[in-house]
């Protein structure tokens, strides 16, 4: 989560939106974790598992980048140090691509 917060800080002024999905009901411990990690982006609950089913999520964490037309352009399961660098490059590519469309 700290790396996601860093990416949010880096890209929020460029029109990139971050949404995290909490699998299940949010507990007080989860709320505390979000506060301690200074999470400022949207965090939604998926208590009925509809998001999990719609995106065919088989494990957590999963990262999905969706372009401005709603298409999935990047999907990654799990986390290892350095994954945030790959995700930043994907976001930068998407921003550059959208800029060329304008």
pTM for the full predicted model: 0.74
Rounded mean pLDDT of 6-13? Answer: 90
Say if 85 falls within a structural domain.
Answer: yes
Tell me, what's the pLDDT at 88?
Answer: 94
Report helix, strand or coil for 78. Answer: coil
Say if 49 falls within a structural domain.
Answer: yes
Q: Where in the sequence is the domain holding 82, given as residue range(s)? A: 2-97
Say if 36 falls within a structural domain.
Answer: yes
Q: Sort 79 into a burial class: Cβ within 10 Å, 0-12 / 13-18 / 19+.
A: middle
Say if 22 falls within a structural domain.
Answer: yes
Q: Which residue has the higher pLDDT, 7 or 63?
A: 7
48 Cβ partners below 8 Å, 6+ apart?
A: none
Tell me, what's the pLDDT at 101?
Answer: 65
Number of domains making up the chain: 1
Over the stretch 17-60, which tens digit does the pLDDT of each residue have? 888 888 777 889 989 989 999 998 888 888 888 988 888 888 88
Say if 102 falls within a structural domain.
Answer: no
- DSSP secondary structure string for all residues of 1-67: -HHHHHHHHHHGGGT---EEEESSPPPHHHHHHHHHTT--SEEEE-TT-HHHHHTT--SSSEEEEE-
10 pLDDT band, cuts 50/70/90, is: very high
CATH at 27: 3.40.30.10
Rounded mean pLDDT of 90-94? Answer: 90
Say if 63 falls within a structural domain.
Answer: yes
Say if 24 falls within a structural domain.
Answer: yes
């Amino acid at each position: 989560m700290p790396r996601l917060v860093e990416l949010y800080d880096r890209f929020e002024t460029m029109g990139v939106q971050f949404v995290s999905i909490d699998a299940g009901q949010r507990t007080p411990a989860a709320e505390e974790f979000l506060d301690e990690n200074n999470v400022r982006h949207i965090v939604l609950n998926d208590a009925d598992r509809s998001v999990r089913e719609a995106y065919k999520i088989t494990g957590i964490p999963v990262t999905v980048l969706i372009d401005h037309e709603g298409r999935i352009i990047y999907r990654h399961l799990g986390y290892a140090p350095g994954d945030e660098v790959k995700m930043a490059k994907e976001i930068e590519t998407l921003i550059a691509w959208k800029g060329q469309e304008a």
